[in-house]
Amino acid sequence: MNKPIMKGKVYLMGAGPGDPDLLTVQAVQILRTAEVVLHDHLVAPAILDLIPAWTQVRNVGKRCGSAGISQEQIHSMLISAAREGHQVVRLKGGDPLLFGRVGEEMEALSRAGIEFEVVPGVTSAMGAAAAAKIPLTDRRFASKLVFMSNHSAGQANTNWEDVTSPDATHVVYMPGPDYAEIAGKLSAGGLDGRTPCLIVTHATQPQQQIRRTTLRELALERGLPAPALLIVGEVARPLPPLQDDEKTSSRKTGEPHEEILHLTDAPAKSEIIV
Ligand code: SAH
């Protein structure tokens, strides 16, 4: 009798913004049985800790500026692991369909005749908005939500003036270190200098920092650790302060981002909420 041919499959999977509790149930189930995991640099250590010891795990992430593994090499690794009959996970930060190179990976897999499936994840914008309690489309202030990238590596450049609007909430992925440049582009798009801005670094992770500022002051922000996300729009205005009894009841122990601190000596009139 012929040996049955084991069919390999690739899961293009979102790891969410970092807190393992934000993985989908589907993602956890597949990670438990995957034989090969190729992950991005952004995937948090707490997520990688969930992968069984017997799984072959490889970091194929590209840090800005470093050569590392090419996109074509990633395609070949995915294809050959699947052809060997393995269950393969291509694990990406946030949601796999946003600001990654998943389109190219899907094309390469299709061309090679490899079966694949997309497992969604919580995109970092949603993790950051939840952590900072930002109602992204509060109908009083925003009628649209724009996800945009400040980093154009091989992608069509965003025409900022076309997508910037006072009644939009703008979420800028990959802001990079030059907030002055971003502030200039958003102002040129018609936003007022008083428009509230939030920078969220390491959203949902233990090192999370949330910095509150305005478009006028944004230019002075620097040295914030990556990964960071910028949310700009009226919806990012501070909420009225919590009453003392609400503060106590909404606080969970052991979660640093639950505690809100207002630092009066923060630079550039910005306010850091830890
Ligand atoms: N697919 C990812 C985005 C990849 S692009 C997603 O859906 O979130 C990489 C950018 O995502 C980073 O430069 C940063 O802007 C943002 N990002 C990813 N994880 C983040 C996190 N935990 N906190 C803040 N920003 C994050």
Highest mean pLDDT among 60-64, 78-82, 160-164, 176-180: 78-82
Tell me the mean pLDDT in the region 87-105.
97
Question: Is 40 labeled as catalytic in the residue annotation?
Answer: yes
5 CA to middle of ligand 1, Å?
38
Burial of 88 (0-12, 13-18, 19+ CB in 10 A): buried
Which tens digits make up the pLDDT trace of 19-75?
999 999 999 999 999 999 999 999 999 999 999 999 999 999 876 545 679 999 999
Q: What is the pLDDT of residue 262?
A: 34
Would you state the pLDDT for residue 208?
A: 97
Q: What's the CA gap between 161 and 113, in Å, rounded?
A: 41
pLDDT tier, 268 (very low <50, low <70, confident <90, very high otherwise): very low
Ligand 1 pocket test, candidate residues 229, 230, 231, most atoms within 8 A of CB = 229
Catalytic residue among 19, 40, 92, 95: 40
- Structure confidence at residue 28 (pLDDT): 98
Q: Quick one: the chain helix, strand, coil %, rounded to 5?
A: 30, 20, 50
Task: Verify whether residue 244 is a known catalytic residue.
Answer: no
> HSE (CB half, 13 Å, CA atoms) of 241?
7
pLDDT grade for 7, boundaries at 50, 70 and 90:
confident
Percent of the chain with pLDDT over 90: 74
Ligand 1 pocket, residue 42 CB under 6 Å: yes
Q: Confidence band (pLDDT; 50, 70, 90) for 260?
A: very low
Exposure string for 11-32, b = 16+ CB within 10 A, e = fewer: bbbbbbbbbbebbbeebeebbe
Q: What gap in Å lies between CA 13 and CA 126, rounded to an integer?
A: 17
- Using the predicted structure, report yes or no on whether residue 228 has a pLDDT greater than 80: yes
CA distance linking residue 17 with residue 40, whole number of Å? 12
At 76 the pLDDT is 98
Pure H helices in 34-123: 45-48, 71-83, 102-112
Mean pLDDT of 202-216: 96
* Rounded CA separation 190/162 (Å): 10
pLDDT at 273: 62
- Alpha helices (H) in 58-193, listed in sequence order: 71-83, 102-112, 124-132, 160-163, 179-188
Q: Is 227 in the pocket of ligand 1 (CB under 6 A)?
A: yes
Q: Whole-model pTM above 0.75? A: yes
